[in-house]
Amino acid sequence: MNPSSLCSLQTFPPISHSALLNRHCKPAYDSTARVRRRAVVCAERSSRASTRSADDYYATLKALKSKGRFPRKSLGQHYMLNSEINDQLAGAAGIEQGDIVLEIGPGTGSLTNVLLNSGAFVLAVEKDKHMAALVSERFSSSGKLKVLTEDIVKCHVRSHMSSLVGSTNSESRKAKVVANIPFNISTDVIKLFLPMGDIFSEVVLLLQEETAVRLVVSSLRTPEYRPINVFVNFYSEPEYKFKVPRTNFFPQPNVDAAVVSFKLKPPSEYPHVSSTKSFFSTVNSAFNEKRKMLRKSLQHICTALEIEEALTSIGLLATSRPEELTLDDFVKLHNMIAKD
């Protein structure tokens, strides 16, 4: 997430249980009956609050204060304050007893709590050592959590997942990724995990809403259609799940969020190309010169005439531009013009 989208935070608001209660219980009116009714309502709300999940605004501030921490702009830290959103996030991934889940950036552990209560084994990767310590301490007695103090984009995910699967004696079903990630690493995370269909069955992420829409909804012949759309559809079946208003985060970002599910394809179901590296190089080259026809932007691969002939042979115009090609079109074109 860009720093400009974060709220500048100098001090924490004071945490007070009485203030929390008074937030719902306004001063009574002069009528005795109204005073009594107000007292009953306040008592009922207080009782409900005592049974509600502790992962709310005040508990989050308390957890951060316990480590002397402030949300850090450099890490894109925005903490979820609504436990119902975490329930929906886990529900979107269909988390069940015995599932193995990789969580990115657990923070104070609000989503971790939901995942563990669903019966999952959780591998949490947290770059902030203070938050890693906090979540490790919070769930130290669970026996189902392993915390790594690492940067997820530099983490050796495959080796860690293999180790976790072996230690949990889990069934052969694949693991899942469920995470509320910093918006500024969304593309890195997607490029890292979507090609791991041999390990994970599904990746469910809470992303910036604009990014979520662009990844799932962007169609041909639109400015939003980009190489990442080809990449996403090559490795997965994306689905927009639901919107998450910005008011659910602390600090509050300047944009709303949304949850997207990527059902990963197993390697056997990837489109057939001679080389994925060569294929995506071709796609990226095509979009580097987006306003140009493919016969010009791909001339470093073969001649303009050869590209024109390849396009017409797959039912496209010789003057086609990259935003007019589907994933299947790019696969066919690559296979015809790719050099050994």
Annotated binding site: 78, 80, 105, 126, 151, 180
Peptide bond into 251 cis (omega under 30): yes
Contact present, 81 and 57 (Cβ < 8 Å):
yes
Interatomic CA distance for residues 319 and 43, integer angstroms: 72
Q: Name the H helices within 218-275.
A: 227-235
Residues 135 and 107 sit within 8 Å (Cβ to Cβ): yes
Instruction: Give CA–CA dist 334/118, Å, rounded.
Output: 44
Phi, psi values for residue 231, rounded to 5°: -60, -50
Residue ranges of the binding site for S-adenosyl-L-methionine = 78, 80, 105, 126, 151, 180
Tell me the residue ranges of DSSP E strands in 152-299.
175-180, 200-208, 236-244, 249-250, 257-264
Strand order in the sheet with 257-264: 145-148, 121-125, 100-104, 175-180, 200-208, 257-264, 236-244
